[in-house]
Amino acid sequence: MSEFGIPILKDKYPVTMDMWPLQTKEFNRVYEFYENLKQGRFTTTKCKSCGHVAYPPRVICPECYGEELEYIDLPKRGKVVTFSEEVKGVPLGFESPLIHAIVDLGPESPVRSFLTRIVNCPAGKLKEGDEVELVVFEVPPHPMEVGKGGTVMCERVFFAFQPVRE
């Protein structure tokens, strides 16, 4: 069988089912967010014109439509406000339990709360008020360039939060 376009990747799921964002400058205008994640920084954008802080990161300010934004750091710890836990019927590509939570980053944070995934937590163990922390993990690489020299892969990361272990 001949190959057309992107070759089939040797991974758990084919590239057509890729659920992670492309993270390079060539494919994503908020690529700096992912570069910051690779350094262990949790960031978002702040408008230089009006000072509005938006999460998730934006390329245009939703308040004044300005295009001059800078990346600012957010806290890497927060508390669970509420959560949902899926044990059965978890979508393809995820493992049980699939936990999503509203995490409060505290009154000092420019972004007070947001929805995120919780990992490294057994089913039934998470409680409202639990402290959680940022965890950055690798996701399958993505082909960035296919040519005579072979396929150039783009390493990628994503984030979630996990319970703080004291």
* pLDDT tens, residue by residue, 32-52: 999 999 999 999 999 999 999
Give the separation between CA 18 and CA 156, rounded to whole angstroms: 12
Closest by Cα among 115, 117, 87 to 103: 115
Q: Which two tokens stand for residue 69?
A: 């934004």
Q: Is pLDDT of 6 > 50?
A: no
Q: Is pLDDT of 157 > 80?
A: yes
Which residues contact residue 107 at a Cβ distance below 8 angstroms, ignoring those fewer than 6 apart?
Answer: none
pLDDT at position 146 is 64
- Largest alpha-carbon pair distance within the chain? 58
The domain ranges of the chain are: 19-163
pLDDT tens, position by position, 127-143: 999 999 999 999 888 87
Residue indicated by tokens 């979508």: 91
CA dihedral 161, 162, 165, 166 (to 10 degrees): 20
Range with top average pLDDT, 16-20, 65-69, 93-97, 142-146: 65-69
What phi and psi values does residue 92 have, to the nearest 5 degrees?
-55, 135
* Mean pLDDT taken over the chain: 87
Helix extents (H) in 1-145: 31-38
* Counts for the chain of helices (H) and strands (E), in that order: 1, 8
